[in-house]
Structure 1
Amino acid sequence: MNKICFQRRDTQRLNAEVRKVSLRSFALSLAILCVCLFLLPLPAAAQTPLERTPLTLELLQERLRTPTVREGNLAVDLRQMVIDLRPENGSFRDAFYQLLRKELQKTGVKPLGLDLSNSLVQGDFVGSDLGLRTPLYAQAIAPIFTATEQEQLERLRLVCLQSLAIALPNSKDCRSLLATESHTSSDISVFRGALTLVQTRFNGQVQFRNTFFLQSVDVQGATFIQPTNWTETRFSRPVSFSAANFRQLSNFQGSIFFDKANFKQATFQETADFQGAIFVNNSNFNQAKFKQLARFSNVQWQGNADFSNVRFFNQAQFTKANFNQVLSLAEATFEQAVIFRETQFDQAVNLQGANILNQADFSDAKFAQAAFLDVSGLTFNSNQAKILGNPGQIGKMFYIPTLQGNQNILRNLGQNFRQQQQVADANQLEYTKQRLRLIELSRQLVATNINSANLASLVHLGFSLTQAKAIKQQRQIQAFRNRSELLILADIDLETYTQLSDRLIVSQPLSLGGWLVKASGWLTLSVLLLLSGYGTSFWLVFGVGGIAIAYFGLLFWLVDRYRRLRPLPIIPTSYETICILVSFSFLTFFSLLAIFRNSEQPWLTLGCLLIIIFPIPITLLCRLYQQGRYHKLMDISYFTEDGTLRQLRLLIGRLPVIPRNPTFRERYMPLLWNRRWNWLNYYDFSLNNLVKLGFNDIRLRDEHLPGIIAALAWYQWSLGLLYITLVLWTLSRTIPGLNLLIYLK
């Protein structure tokens, strides 16, 4: 019993202690919660609505007498006000404009700005009436503004003069500045101080037409319920419309932005009209939204234009625009057509990760030498959308840095142009794809495989010994799947990874046989790209064949006509020598012209061609003249012609030497050296050997023929089989009907 009593007492004591601890924990938690509620701000939805003070004439006069200083500039502080400018409050509206205009237009004093941040403006706001009206004629503005302000106004003249190189300026002020007389219609409203409209809400229309802002304009987060008119407005200093919301038409036609223009995260619910505007400095439309038509036609972009992450819900027009610097459309989305007709691009156009859902029109667009379209990561479905451009030009403008991750876009772009029967552009994209594939093969052959490289190779590449050991230990646990897994290792920093990642590959170790297979594939692909653009350029193939025909024709003439000097010379006449050399020069010149006009790497193409046609024939030729020729029929040509028929013939099954049969010896007669046009027969033989096409069936004789000369002819004949295959393959890819038959699925 005593034990039971003691146990009950212990249990009661323990329960009491637990209750005390629980009460203390609850009290502590409640205290922490109260502190958090006191310190942390409430959510935006739960915050107290912004309190605005109705603006009266007395309050306005008081604020005009006591302007505030912001960032070194004086400004009339009308923040968090309710400004009623509706027609029914006409007396206040007239007094409002009169009092503000009087203070803002004072000359000879420090410019006075206007701050309407977080205010609510009811009724139409005619901001252009607050500026100082003045003609832009130089003699008229001189006594009114300070020297600094006159310099800012003079910048307008320079911009107008620069725009003459592109198009005739249409704005009134440009016509006035470029004229010799002043016109009343060229007057402009000059706003001398800074304008701040941060988080301001305008319930009526906003008018700043034909206004020149000499100081900064800050309209961040402002809301415009009705249309806004900024036509032919000039912004001398940085302007920010960041996160502004335009519920109705926003008109910036003919405006000039001398400094940076920021429209980041702005929302345009209705049409946004920037036609004829000029952006002298960088412009930022990052993450902006255009719900309706976006007009940027005839706009001059002299700085970088950033439209990254912009979403165009309706058509976007950039017709006849001029981009002097980089245009960034990275991650942009075009739900309707985007039009770049007759647009000038001087620098790169960044379309990385962009999404084209309807149509992108680059018809008649002009690309400078440094301009290209970076479409890596572009989302584009050729079955639903189209990319338009000038045939034979637009395909050359696409740039993709790597094949990995871009196979789909290359395939879709190629199919897009094949559907439009723009075979040249589709072939150009195929060439780009194979060129990127060649780069990947090169890296696989020569780059260091981190899954198989030894410590010495890793150290020689640039890793420290500690880093190399860490790589070896990690791959013993698990092989690397991609290069970025190197960053998991604590010993490898981002700088080292960035420097060495381009020289690394991640793959299964290659055996010697596998390496040789890849090497042969690399060699074949290299030759096809250099000599035919991977079957995409007939004129490149034509140029390669022209050089081969001229070169072998000259060699055959040389071995046949230049035999010996003693005792009795057997050499060609001067006339024949001049004819063969001049014709060789002409054929070579036009062939080189075709190569240099159609090959992206003409010198490499020539180098590849010379490696094929130069070493073996020259070696045979040197050996021939070194050992001499001692046989009968030394004074008769090695070449014979079919004397029964002379016409253009396709000789696919023809062999370079006549059969050993007396019947053929009677049919094939030796070439006559004393004929004035005999030198043409050597080109005919070279043409027969390479292209299997000729005007006459010319072959080598079957007796008293040096083996070296026969070897030379058979070598060209063998090259001819490869060349005619290359020609037919290229024609199958460049003839529109046949090309579509092969590639359309």
Structure 2
Amino acid sequence: MDAKIRLFSCILNRFLLFLLVILLCFTCLPVLAQPQTERVLLTVDLLQERLHNPVFEDGKLFVDLRFMVVDLRPENGEFASQFYQLLRKELSKTGSGKSLGLDLSDAVIQGDFVGSDLGIRTSLYPQVISPSFSPGEQEQLAQLKGVCLQSLGLGFASGRDCKSLLGTQSTASSDIYVFRGGLTIRRTRFNGMVSFANTFFLQPVDAEGAIFQGVSNWTETRFSRTVNFSGAVFRQSAQWGGSIFFDKADWKLVKFQNGVYFQGSSFEDNVNFTQAVFTGLAKFSRSQWWGNTDFSQVRFAGQVQYTRSHFHGFLLLIETTFEQAVTFRAAQFQQPVTFRGASILNQADFSDVEFSKSAYLNVSGLGFNSNQAKFLGNPNQIGKMLVVSSLQGNQSVLRNLAQNFRSLQQIGDVNQLEYTKQQLRLQELTHLLTGININSASPETLIRLGFNFHQVSAIISRRELQPFRDKTELLALPEVDFNTYIQLNEKLMFGEPLLVGGWLLHAWTWLCLSLLLLLSGYGTSFWLVFGVGIMAIAYFGLVFWFIDRLRRFRPVAILPTTDETIAMLTSFCCLNLLGILAVFRNSENPWLTLMCLGLIIVPIPLFLVIRLYQGGRYHNQIHVTYFTEDSSMRQLRLLIGRLPVIPRYIGFRDRYLSILWEKRWNWLNYYDFSMNNLLRIGFNDIRLRDEDVPGIISSLAWYEWSLGVLYITLVLWTLSRTIPGLNLLIYLK
């Protein structure tokens, strides 16, 4: 019985405690719902009290006007006059060496707020500058001169302060307003117009979360310290033309719901506009960006203009959306521009843009539909500036950009994109052939690669259950840390291991693709093909002249004349110089191109020539040239189906006579023979005789002729890709 009573008492106590907690919660909710601080209407008396009792914030003195309602409407003109007068007087004082700042956080400003009236009006002309400024403040003001000089060429130096600094005299119209202390307007609501035009801020400006209901005028404003407008809202147009930001500027999450104008502005340090929203026109024309500029995840609903702007640092446009046209016409880039994951829904204009040697446009993952949007740029230039990090995931990007340039009839840029695509394909093939497949590598190989014993054990256990399909599955293993993954990612292959046949097939593809890229830019550069051909013609011409004219020294010397030798060697050097110039002007890897060409044309002919002179020549007609020409006509001929040896039919033999050794211009015949073999074109149909000719010489001729088949195919393919409509003409022929 006692146990039941105790149980009932316990349950009753818990129930009463529960009711008490519920009652307390409902009682406290109305209190919690009330704002912590209510706004107070600012009066003259209250203003004077706050002026006499400044507060410390982050080690600096501020006039505390937080949570105030400041009525500056015309019907309250007397208060507005005293408000500006009293504040200007106190904010202009230096006192104990510390300038007094203004804190309007969480306040509501009714009517127009002319913030420039709170500063000291002065001229920056050195002879008339106010002596009340401390040496440190004068140094801050003086740093403007360097910016004015830098900007003079771009038309920025039209501001009042720049006129004072660069001019010879000071006028009242060139005066500016100096705001000595810091300005804090966090979450402040401005219901009217705000003007800080021609104001020089010597201390930081913090406007995080501020709301500007009316027009904002910050024209020709100078910010000597950091600026923070993150989360601010501008409901009407915001004017920032000709402003200068000497320190970092933070505009993260800012919302410009109308037009914003930064034309002629200068940003001396890093700028952050991430996740900002521009609803109206955004004008950044003739602006200078000296630090890194971050427009990542920004939404531009209106047009964007960066015309004639200079970007000296990195420009980040990662996952940025351009719903209307964006213009970079005549802009200059000193560092890379990143469009990774960005979306261009209308038009991007890069006409007349200047890129430094280290600058390019990274368009990896670019959202671009060529049927709806356009990507404009200078023909034969913009395509070279477009870069993607890898072929995987970017094939549609390259395809859409190629369709865009094809619709604009910029064939050179289309070919450049194809060249970029094939370069990435070559990188993938190289990685495929040389990388270590994680699904087939032995434990010893993985350890030598850089994995520790526990990581290798985890990898083997994982691949026994299921092979690794991509690199993300490796990172998912708890034993593999991120640093190890970053170090070894480029050395590993994922997926099914290659069989021997598959490896050989990929190796053959790699070889052919490498030759096409090095010798013709994958059919995108005719002048590169021309340079390669000129050097090959000169080399084989010299080889055939050498074996035909220099036969022996004894017993009776058969040697070329001195004049002929000089002419041949001089022409060989000139032709090679011409070819080398063409290669270096048109190849991205000229030394590799020359090495590749050398491996094709030098080893085999050199070996055959050495064997020829080692064995000697003891045949009939030793004093007669090996080369004959069709003497029935002398004209420029197209010799597509010609073979390097004269035909057997006696009727044709009567037409072929030996070339004229004794003529001073005889050395030209060897170049003509080389052109016949490689280019299938020549002034005479020159061929080898088929009697009393060493087999090595015939082998040399057939070797060059075989290379000529490949070379003329390369020439025609390159021409068909670089000249619109020529491919149709070739096919019709």
Settle same-fold status: TM greater than 0.5.
yes
Residues of 1 paired with 2:563 and 2:249: CA distance? 74
Which residue does 1:545 correspond to in 2?
533
8 Å contact kept, 1:421–1:740: no
Aligned to 2:67: 80
Aligned counterpart for 1:466 among listed residues 454, 470, 483: 454
1:42 Cα offset (Å): 11
> Aligned partners of 2:46 and 2:447: how far apart in 1?
76
Q: 1:297 to 1:651 in 2, by over 3 A?
A: same
Inter-CA distance 657–17: structure 2 relative to 1 (3 Å threshold): farther
Q: SS state of the match for residue 298, structure 1?
A: coil
Question: C-alpha displacement at 1:168, in angstroms?
Answer: 5.9
- Correspondence for 2:706: 718
Supply the distance in 1 between the matched residues of 2:704 and 2:391 (Cα, whole angstroms).
Answer: 37
Residue 69 of structure 1 is matched in structure 2 by 56
Report the AA paired with residue 624 of structure 1.
L
Listed as ranges, the gaps of 5+ residues in structure 1 are 1-11
Separation in structure 2 between the aligned mates of residue 660 and residue 295 of structure 1, nearest angstrom: 79
Aligned to 2:583: 595
Tell me the CA shift for residue 489 of structure 1. Answer: 2.1
Letter in 2 for 1:728: L
User: How far 1:155 moved relative to its partner?
Assistant: 0.5
Match of 1:681 among 647, 665, 669: 669
Please tell me whether the aligned partners of residues 245 and 266 of structure 1 are also in contact (alpha carbons under 8 angstroms). Answer: yes
Partners of 1:418 and 1:740 within 8 A in 2: no
User: Secondary structure in 2 aligned to 1:114?
Assistant: strand
Aligned to 2:550: 562
Q: Which amino acid aligns with 2:41?
A: P
Task: Describe how 1:453-532 pairs up with structure 2 within 5 A.
Answer: 453-532=441-520
- 2:638 pairs with 1:637: no
CA separation in 2, counterparts of 1:222 and 1:178? Answer: 35
Letter of the aligned partner of 2:568 in structure 1? I
**Secondary structure class of the residue paired with 1:437:** helix
Counterpart of 1:626 (choices 601, 611, 614) is 614
CA apart distance, 1:716: 0.2
Q: 1:342 to 1:701 in 2, by over 3 A?
A: same
Match of 1:92 among 79, 82, 100: 79
CA contact (8 A) 2:157 2:163 kept: yes
Aligned pair partner of 2:249 in 261, 275, 285: 261
Q: What is the RMSD computed on CA atoms of the aligned residues? A: 2.4
CA drift at 1:29: 7.1
2:433 is matched with 445
Residue type matched to 1:263 in 2?
W
Report the Cα distance in structure 2 between the residues aligned to 1:727 and 1:568, rounded to whole angstroms.
Answer: 44
Range with greater deviation from structure 2 (283-292 or 136-145): 136-145
User: How far is the alpha carbon of 1:112 from its aligned partner?
Assistant: 1.1
Relative to structure 1, is the Cα distance of residues 429 and 18 closer, same or farther in structure 2, using a 3 angstrom cutoff?
Answer: farther
Asked whether the 8 Å contact 2:231–2:253 carries over to 1, the reply is yes
Q: What pairs up with 1:115-514 in 2 under 5 angstroms?
A: 115-141=103-129, 143-164=131-152, 166-167=154-155, 169-514=157-502
Does the aligned pair in 1 maintain the 2:156–2:242 contact within 8 Å?
A: no
SS in 2 for 1:141: coil
Q: Supply the distance in 1 between the matched residues of 2:650 and 2:31 (Cα, whole angstroms).
A: 110
Alpha-carbon shift at residue 582 of structure 1 (Å): 1.1
Counterpart among 43, 46, 66 of residue 56 in structure 1: 43
Conserved 8 A contact 2:187-2:209: yes
Question: CA separation in 2, counterparts of 1:359 and 1:690?
Answer: 46
| Structure 2: 5+ residue stretches without partners | none
Deviation of the 1:679 alpha carbon: 0.7
The one of 80, 88, 99 aligned to 1:101: 88
CA contact (8 A) 1:142 1:150 kept: no
Contact 2:363/2:386 (8 A) holds in 1: yes
For each residue in 1:172-220, what CA deviation from the matched residue of structure 2 results, as whole angstroms up to 9, or x when unmatched? Answer: 2212211121121110100101111111001110111100111111111
1:386 maps to amino acid: K
Q: 1:141, CA displacement in angstroms?
A: 1.6
* Cross-structure match for 1:604: 592
Structure 1 window deviating more from structure 2 (721-730 vs 138-147): it is 138-147
1:581–1:188 CA distance, 2 compared to 1 (3 A):
same
Separation (CA, whole Å) in 2 of partners of 1:187 and 1:492: 64
In structure 2, the partner of 1:695 is: 683
Worse-matched range after superposition: 426-435 or 652-661: 652-661
Secondary structure of the structure 2 residue equivalent to 1:736: coil
SS at the partner of 2:725? Answer: helix
Note closer, same or farther for the CA distance 1:410–1:141 as it changes in structure 2 (3 Å cut): same
- Whether contact under 8 Å (1:108, 1:145) holds in the other structure is no
TM-score for both structures, normalised by structure 1: 0.94
SS, match of residue 83 in structure 1: strand
Percent sequence identity is 61
* Counterpart residue type for residue 59 of structure 2: G
Give the direction of change, closer, same or farther, for the CA distance of 1:315–1:584 in structure 2 (3 Å limit).
same
Residues 353-373 of structure 1: per-residue CA shift (max 9 Å, x gap) = 111111110000000111111
Q: The residue matched to 1:607 in structure 2 has which SS?
A: helix
Over residues 1-48 of structure 1, what are the superposed CA-to-partner deviations in whole Å (9 max), with x where a residue is unaligned?
Answer: xxxxxxxxxxx99999999998788778778878999999999xx664
Q: CA deviation at 1:171?
A: 1.7
Q: In the superposition, relative to structure 1, how do residues 88 and 567 fare at CA in structure 2: closer, same or farther (>3 Å)?
A: same
The answer (yes or no) to whether the contact 1:108–1:146 under 8 Å persists in 2 is no
Matching residue of 2:571? 583
Output the CA distance in 2 between the equivalents of 1:310 and 1:608: 47
User: How far apart are the structure 2 equivalents of 1:41 and 1:339?
Assistant: 54
Contact 1:346 1:367 in 2 (8 A): yes
Q: Is the 8 A contact 1:392 1:422 kept in 2?
A: yes
Q: Distance in 2 between matches of 1:407 and 1:492?
A: 31
Give, in whole Å, the separation in 2 of the partners of 1:598 and 1:31: 86
What amino acid does structure 2 have at the position aligned with 1:546? Answer: I
- 2:52 corresponds to which letter in structure 1? R
Which whole-Å deviations, capped at 9, do the CAs of 1:236-276 have from their partners, x for residues lacking one? 11011111100001000101111111111110011100010
Partner Cα separation in structure 2 for residue 16 and residue 730 of structure 1: 102
Tell me how far 1:663 sits from its aligned partner.
Answer: 2.4
Aligned length: 729
Check 1:537–1:20 CA distance in 2 against 1; reply closer, same or farther (3 A cut): farther
Output the CA distance in 1 between the equivalents of 2:591 and 2:11.
Answer: 86
Give, in whole Å, the separation in 1 of the partners of 2:147 and 2:468: 57
Task: Summarize deviations over 1:534-578 as a string: whole Å, max 9, x none.
Answer: 111111111111111110011011111111111111111111111
Contact 2:155/2:264 (<8 A) preserved: no
SS state at 2:143 partner: helix
| Deviation per residue, 1:420-446 (Å, 9 max, x gap) | 111111111100110101111111111
Q: Which whole-Å deviations, capped at 9, do the CAs of 1:259-298 have from their partners, x for residues lacking one?
A: 1111111100111000100101111111111000000000
Residues 609-636 of structure 1 show CA distances to partners (whole Å, capped at 9, x for unaligned) of 1111110000000001111110111111
SS of the aligned residue for 2:121 comes to strand
Distance 2:222 2:379 in 1: 40
Q: Tell me the alpha carbon deviations over residues 655-699 of structure 1, each in whole angstroms, 9 at most, x when there is no partner.
A: 100122332221100011111111111000000001111111000
Amino acid in the other structure paired with 1:297: S
